[in-house]
Each structure stands twice: as C-alpha cells, then as structure tokens.
Amino acid sequence: MMAKKDVRVRYAPSPTGFLHIGNAQSALFNYLFAKHFGGTMVLRIEDTDLKRNVASGEKSQMDNLRWLGIDWDEGPDKPNPKYAPYHQTERRDLYDKYITELMDKGLAYKDFATEDELKEMRDKQRANKEAPHYDGRWYGASEADIKAAEDKGLPYTIRLHLPKDHTYEWDDIVRGKVEFNSDNLGGDFIIQKSDGLPTYNFAVVVDDHLMDITDVLRGDDHIANTPKQMAVYDALGWKHPNFGHISLIYNPKTGKKLSKRDKDTLQFISEYKREGYLREAIFNFIAFLGWSPVGEKEIFTKDELIKAYDPKRMSKSPAFFDQHKLDWINSQYIKSMSSSEIADRVVELVEEGQTPIAKKIQEDDIPNLHDYAEHVIDIYKHSVFKLTEIMEYVDFYYNILGQDIDYSKLNDFSHEDLEKLFNALEDKIHEASENGQNKGLDYGPIVNEVGKETGMKGKKLYFPLNVIFTGDTSAPQVAQIMGLFSPSVISALINKALRGIE
Ligand code: GLU
C-alpha cells in the first residue's frame, strides 16, 4: 500500500432516491481510494433538500452499499465523536455560525428579491443575449433598505459575494488543471435558502472542512460547483481539499449520459441484485467505469482492485456502460465460485421474493431448495450469465411433469427405436431401484448400459433423452439432469413420452 498521510474521503449521497449505478460509482472510487491509501471513508447524508428526500432513500443507499461490499469507517451508524453528526440537517448550528461570520465580514448578504423579480432579471438578460446571472442588486444595500424589508417580514436568501475577475484553478485528480473565472459563475450565489437551510455548495464546504476531508472524489456533473465551493473556502479563510471529478456513465445506445429515463439499462443496484448479478461482478464492473488498471486482466477481486487502484489511471473520457461486458464478468464469477456458494445466493434471492421467478419458486416450496439449486448449478454454471437463469431452471425441473414438451422434435426417429430405448431405460431404473438404489441414483452408468443393451449411441441415444427430460434437443449432461428427478417422476416422464410420440 502506498503511504499517503491521513487520507479522509467521503461519499455524500442525498437521500432523494435509491442507490443508482452512478452513486455506486462515486462510492466505489472513494472506497478504493480510502482503502488503497490506508485512509478513512466517511458516509455523510446530504439531506437539506427536504422536499426531495424520500423516506427509504437513506436506508436503500446504506443497504445496497453494504450488499456491494462498500463499507465506510465513519457515518451515521458509526459516529466518530470528533466529527459527528453525519446528517446535514443535524448540523444547522454549524452552518449558521459560519453564515453569521461571513455576514459580519461583509462577504455574504441578504437578498430580498422575489421570485418574480429574479425571473424578470433573467429574462431581460436573455433578451440582451447575456448569460443569466444574479446582478448583485442587494449587495451593499443600505441599512435602511434592509431594515424596511426585514420589518415587512419579507423572505430572503443569503448570497456569497464573489470577487470580480478572479481565477479559480485546481489540479484535478482526474482531469488535471481546471479553471473557472468568477465572472462566469452566474453571479453571487445563494448559500442559505429562504427556509434557513444552507445550500449544497455551502454545507458541503463546511462539512468537508470540519470533517478533515483530504480528497473529494465525485461525479463530474459537479465540476461547475467546485469554483463556487472554492469561493466559500476562500471567504472562510480555509484551504480546500484535492478535487477529482469522475467521468460519468454514458449509454452507448444514445451516446449520452446515462439517464433515469433510459429503459434499456438497469439503473439501481437493487435491480442488478434482483436480476441475479453477483455483488463481486458488479463491483468489478463498476471499477472499470472510469478507471483501468495496467495490463489486460479484467477479472479482479475487491482486494486486487484495492491494491491495483491508482487515481492517476482514472479516465477523462466518458465511461460507456457495456451490458455484454457485465454479463460476461458475471458469468466468469458464476463459473469460478463453488456451486454451494452460488446456491446460497439463489436461496437469498428466493427468500427476498422480489422477482416473478423468485415468487414462483417460493410457491414451488421445494423441500431442500439449497441442495436442489446446487445440483442445478453444477449442471449449468458454465452456460449461464445470471442467477435468474438458474432460478428458471430450478423452477422448470422442479415442475417437470407439468411442462409442455414438444415430442414432434422426435419425428426423425422411428417409433420402434424410441419405444425400445424408453422401455430399456425404464427397466434399468426399475432394476436399480429394486436393488435399493432408490436415492441418489447415478444415471450415468444406467444410460451407458441402456446404450449397450439397445445398441444405440451418440445422437440416437442422447437426443431423445434430452427431449423427454429437458424439453430441449441439446442439454448438458442429461444423466446429471435425471438425477434431479425421483425414479417415479422419471417413469412418469417416460410414459408421457411414449404417449406423446404416438
Ligand atoms: N449530495 C451530493 C450529490 O449527491 C454530493 C456531491 C459531492 O460529493 O460533493 O450529488
């Protein structure tokens, strides 16, 4: 691990929705940054936009981060007394204190302009082909005007006064040198809303400073906020942290930033989970959205990513969301994990019952679901991308007697041959179960013997078995699949087939 002193980073969601893939990307890079440099990751809840907060937003953020394996060292649930509280709505005294300080220094002021006045101002500016900006009309207002407005009880906001023609410049961790001129920031901006709560650009500075944050890594949709935040640092006489603006995720189909309206892409981490993506695969996949390691290797465990992470390798170009790659990564993890471990995950999804297939399996009420799923996984782990596919096989085989099997697929085979084959199979199984081998029957040797006895092999032997036991003309390991059924179910399937081919 590279030594970097006392790194403290934060992930600061607004609980206005569930954990989105873009949120997860910010959280993940902060996590990798903290862990790589042996630092501390803070979780702070930016809940000052009361109208936009949703009740379960915070819980969803926390639950899904934990599910992904992104854990924080400090946060609402793990307060460090030196820095608590971690909800912005509980830190109002702090913001008020610094707002007062700025007002006293003449760096911030009350603005009593009404919404209508502000709109008219902007409309005029647009008509004059100027970029809309606050024109500073209440900056330097006389004591008398302020008092008159206050006496009328007019609502007001508090704005920070910006210096003229000042360059805000920083060495961005991702983008290198970035600069903005204070004249292009839309004028003096609001730091306290009329409801008395601070704005994001103000609260974030007070918190990042008081929480000793050393590096701010966030989505590059915030890049234009950074000069405003630097103005707040300057006004308060504080040193700003390092900033890094992570490339946003783009939809390759639209060529635009991934939007919540893009129906072709799953948006929330909970949806990925429900659809049967493994947390390890999602973690691995997101780490490559905006970053890449040296070399060609693409499958990295969390620990490998922590080790390999290098902020210098964060990319400035858009991170394109590649569904095929995600599916491929997920399939690699499914292949490499033990069937029992994957069965645990399947059981977890079934218990949560959040998809139609999970609900269906709940209704199936399979006596030992874990072992049943494990058996199915042994058969299919090399050919599936997602756990939901495994769940579909589980449900299909558990209900095999009710499945519609298309026996016309066997039309190329003679009746006589099929009957001979099916009857021989039935006899062999009967024999084996007579010998007390009822449970855990190994169908491999049985199928081999049937082959020898009937003189059928290859396609002639396996194609019909595939059709009657899986409904499909090709299947991996039909003998293993037969192991999912009891001898009586097998016998029923054989009889169904004998009727079906008539
Ligand atoms: N609450 C902000 C957001 O969710 C945090 C931005 C930041 O990290 O500064 O976008």
DSSP state of 163: P
* 439 — pLDDT class (breaks 50, 70, 90): low
| CATH number of the domain enclosing 442 | 1.10.10
For the stretch 64-115, pLDDT in tens is 999 999 999 999 999 999 999 999 999 999 999 999 999 999 999 999 999 9
Q: Are residues 394 and 454 in the same domain?
A: no
Mean pLDDT for the stretch of residues 400-427: 95
Does 107 lie in the same domain as 196? yes
Which tens digit of pLDDT belongs to each residue from 118-130?
A: 999 999 999 999 9
Residue that the structure tokens 């008092």 belong to: 147
Domain CATH for 101: 3.90.800.10
What residues does ligand 1 touch, defined as CB less than 6 Å away?
12-14, 46, 204, 218, 222
Tell me what the mean pLDDT of segment 305-321 comes to: 97
Q: Provide the pLDDT for residue 1.
A: 46
Query: For residue 234, how far is the Cα from the chain centroid?
Result: 36
- Confidence at residue 259, expressed as pLDDT on a 0 to 100 scale: 84
Q: Are residues 46 and 113 in the same domain?
A: no
- Spatial distance between the Cα atoms of 133 and 122, rounded to a whole number of angstroms: 7
Query: Residue 501: which pLDDT band, with cuts at 50, 70 and 90?
Result: confident
Tokens 């009309």 correspond to: 137
In a domain, 212, yes or no: no
Do residue 394 and residue 406 come from a single domain?
no
Whether 103 and 194 share a structural domain: yes
Specify binding-site residues for ATP.
260
Reported as a single tens digit per residue, the pLDDT across 330-347 is: 999 999 999 999 999 999
Domain assignment of residue 86, yes or no: no
Q: Which domain holds residue 265?
A: 4-79+249-323
pLDDT tens digits for 252-264?
Answer: 999 999 988 888 8
Element (H, E) at 363: helix 356-364
Q: Give the whole-number percent of the chain exceeding pLDDT 90.
A: 91
What mean pLDDT comes out for the span 347-373? Answer: 97
Same structural domain for residues 126 and 47?
Answer: no
On whether residue 222 sits in a domain, the answer given is: no
Look up the CATH number of the domain holding residue 255.
Answer: 3.40.50.620
Domain for residue 232, yes or no?
no
Rounded Cα distance between 373 and 381, Å, is 11
Atom of ligand 1 minimally distant from the CA of 16? 4
441/456 Cα distance (integer angstroms)? 22
pLDDT digits (tens, 9 = 90+) for 276-297: 999 999 999 999 999 999 999 9
Examine the domain organization and report whether 156 and 58 are in the same domain. no
| Contact in structure between 39 and 33 (CB atoms under 8 Å) | yes
Distance 198 CA to ligand 1 centre (A): 14
pLDDT value at 436 more than 80: no
Protein residue closest via CA to atom 3 of ligand 1: 13
Domain count, the chain: 4
Q: Can you read off the two tokens belonging to residue 119?
A: 């709109």
The tokens for 346 are 């399947």
Residue 11 has φ and ψ, to the nearest 5°, of -115, 125
- Does a structural domain hold residue 15? yes
Whole-number Å distance between alpha carbons of 364 and 124? 67
Distance from C-alpha of 395 to C-alpha of 393, rounded to nearest angstrom? 5
CA nearest ligand 1 atom 4, residue: 13
Mean pLDDT of the chain: 95
Quick check: 437 pLDDT over 70? no
